[in-house]
Every structure is written in structure tokens, then in C-alpha cells.
Amino acid sequence: MELCGVQLRGPILNGSGTFDAIAARRTFGDALLERFPFDAFVSKTITLAPREGNPPPRLWETPAGLINSIGLPNKGLDGFLAEDLPQLAELPVPLVVSVMGFSRDELAKLVAAVAERPEVAMIELNVSCPNVETGLVMGADPAETARAVERVRPLSERPLIVKLTPNASEPEAVAAAAQEAGADSVSLINTLKGLAFDPDGGGHWLGGGTGGLSGPAVRAVALQQVHAVAGRVAIPVIGMGGISSGSDALDFLRAGATAVAIGTESFRDPAAGRRIASELAALEAREASKGNLAPPPEARMTQTGDSPPTFFRR
Ligand SMILES: Cc1cc2nc3c(=O)[nH]c(=O)nc-3n(C[C@H](O)[C@H](O)[C@H](O)COP(=O)(O)O)c2cc1C
């Protein structure tokens, strides 16, 4: 298949920050490359300056999910380009680099530097952070998102994916603004805001205060948002949020996603990507034999509101 002009062997990506391919290579050796779980690899989000991340504890398990407050620890742009990129370039699949800037200038520096590297197939803009110039979370506001994309669009011919936050009043309006400003794709959802208290008292459990909820707990929210966004934009949508089986992945494709990403499930099972790919292939073969094929993209684009699309037959 093809995503934004990049050839992929299948539709399964990882969610940024949920699979450390460099650590996995150390643990599993070349077996990781032979049976790589994803069809494209998305890096952990990098920032311009190195970051320590949040103080521990950084994780809290909920009945059907995970709240994380990692705080984007990373080596910064220079450290990533010098140390991590050469290792990620050895992966047997196209590489997507995820970047986050605390201002449009920072974002521009990141995109310009990453786009120069031939190892990078696509760039994902993680816009779930406050812009220090305006105090607004870039991805929560359509105009703010559009200004960020417009600023970086001329700096790179690489496909730009805008990673949407579910913590926006109307994610489909943000997606439409990103498309209008030149984005090649949107991915969603990032984590939902979450909070946990220390069971022994003493206030917030997470060192960073609040965190982001992911896993099966967010799947229905993600599915609705993917459906709404895919009904609004013509560019490909990468769907994620709580996918833990081929059946979940198929639901996202039915909701209008072109590709899907696996996040929290990879913590439970590092090979989840491959398992979900084979479950999905078996389900698609079964659906095709019943004649329940996904609609062509133009049909997906005309789906609106809550009316269930006709291909929702099982
Ligand atoms: C521990 C952890 C770290 C994450 N780090 C990032 C990150 O660096 N950049 C980003 O865009 N999303 C990050 N995410 C969000 C995931 O990529 C994904 O959007 C979200 O978790 C929903 O998918 P899931 O329910 O399958 O995990 C992180 C999620 C988790 C659980």
C-alpha cells in the first residue's frame, strides 16, 4: 500500500513514544529486523533542546488503560540526529520522525534539520503542546494549527503528518485547518488528559501532576474522532487509540482510516504489531469473501454526522 506517496508493506504503524526500537534491537538483536512489528516506524517525539522528562512516578494503570506522564525526555535535535537517527535508519521500514516545538520558530528549526536527512521518509508534527508565544495548545485550535503548518510547509518536501490531540473541542475542524495549510495526513488520537491520586493519600500519583490516558479505555473516543475527521478531510487519516486486536484495527479502517497505529498494546506484547497485522489480514479476507469491502475513499469523504455507513455489516 501507499501512504502519502511512501510505499508501505502494510497499514500498521506504531504510536510515537510507545516502542523503543533502539532498546528492542539491543534486547532482540537482528531478530527484531527480521520480524519487525510495524510497516513504518514513528520515532519518539523529539524537541529542539534535550529534555529530562518528568519526575517519577511516570505511569499509572487504570482498569483498561494507562496514564503516562513521561514528559518527552529526549536527547534534543542534535543528539537525535547524531546518535539515534543512524540506528533507526537500519530498521527495515520507512522512518517517520516526530517533532514538537514550543514555538513556530522551534518547530521550523526541527523540520528544516530533519527534512535534510535522506533516512527520513515523513515528518510527524506533534502539536499537543502549548505555544509559549500565545499560551494556546497548538493542536487544540484550528487557526493555531494552520499557522504552525503554514510555517513549516515550505521547509520540506517530505510528507507532513499532523498528530491531532483529542483534547480539542472539534478535532475535525483542526484536521481541516491542517489540510488547508498543506498537511499531507493527520494522525489521531494522542492521549486524553487523565489524573490519578496516590492511594495512600498525599495527592497526585504522577510526578508530572496530570498525564495522558491511552489504551482500550480511549478506543471508543478515538473511533468516533477518526470517523468524524475522515468524514471531513480528503488527506489520509492514521487512526490509533486503544487498538489491541485485528478486529479493533478493522474498526478504525471502517471508520475511514487509511492506516492504524499501535501504542499501549506494545507495552504488553512487543510483537503486537505483527499479531494485529495477521489478525487484520485474516478478517479482511473473510470480509472480502462476504462482499463487505471498505468503501472507496470518495464514499468515505461524504460520510457525515452520526449516520452509520452502509458498510457496517458484520
Ligand atoms: C508511554 C507513552 C508515551 C507516549 N509518547 C508520545 C510521544 O512522544 N509523542 C506522541 O505524539 N505521542 C506519544 N504517545 C501517544 C501515543 O503515540 C498514542 O497516540 C496514544 O497512546 C493512543 O494510542 P494507544 O491507546 O494505542 O496507546 C505516548 C503514549 C504513551 C502511552
Alpha-carbon distances, residue 38 vs 8, 100, 169 (angstroms): 10, 23, 31
- CA neighbor of 168 nearest in space, from 210, 195, 128: 128
Contacts of 4 (CB under 8 A, 6+ apart): 122, 159, 161, 184, 185, 236
262 has which bridge partners? Answer: 14
Q: Is 129 an active-site residue?
A: yes
The answer to whether residues 109 and 81 touch, using CB atoms and an 8 Å cutoff, is no
pLDDT at 235: 98
- The number of residues in the chain equals 314
Check residue 137 and give its pLDDT.
85
Q: Going by C-beta distance under 8 Å and a sequence separation of 6 or more, which residues neighbour residue 298?
A: none
Atom 4, ligand 1: which residue's CA is nearest? 17
Q: In degrees, to the nearest 5, what angle opens at C-alpha 253 toward C-alphas 24 and 148?
A: 75
Count of Cβ atoms closer than 10 Å to residue 159 Cβ: 19
- Cα 271 to averaged position of ligand 1 atoms, centre (Å): 17
Q: Which atom of ligand 1 is nearest to the CA of 58?
A: 1
From the centroid of its chain, how far is CA 184? 14
Beta strand 120-126 with 95-99 is: parallel
Index of the ligand 1 atom closest to the CA of residue 215: 25
Is the CB of 47 within 6 Å of ligand 1? no
CA of 37 to the centre of ligand 1 (A): 17
What's the pLDDT score for residue 279?
A: 98
At residue 293, the pLDDT reads: 61
For each of the chain's 314 residues, which pLDDT tens digit applies? 999 999 999 999 999 999 999 999 999 999 999 999 999 999 999 999 999 999 999 999 999 999 999 999 999 999 999 999 999 999 999 999 999 999 999 999 999 999 999 999 999 999 987 666 777 789 999 999 999 999 999 999 999 999 999 999 999 999 999 999 999 999 999 999 999 999 999 899 999 999 999 999 999 999 999 999 999 999 999 999 999 999 999 999 999 999 999 999 999 999 999 999 999 999 999 988 987 665 544 444 434 433 433 322 32
**45 Cα nearest atom in ligand 1:** 8
Q: Is the pTM of the predicted complex or chain greater than 0.85?
A: yes
Phi, psi at 182, each rounded to 5°: 115, 10
pLDDT value at position 182?
98
Peptide bond preceding 189 in cis form (omega within 30 of 0) = yes
Q: 155: which 3 cell numbers?
A: 521547509
Q: Choosing from 6, 59, 129, 137, which is the catalytic residue?
A: 129
The type of residue at 116 is E
φ, ψ for residue 122 (rounded to 5)? -150, 160
**Cβ neighbours, 10 Å, residue 48:** 19
Please tell me the residue having the least CA distance from ligand 1 atom 15.
Answer: 190
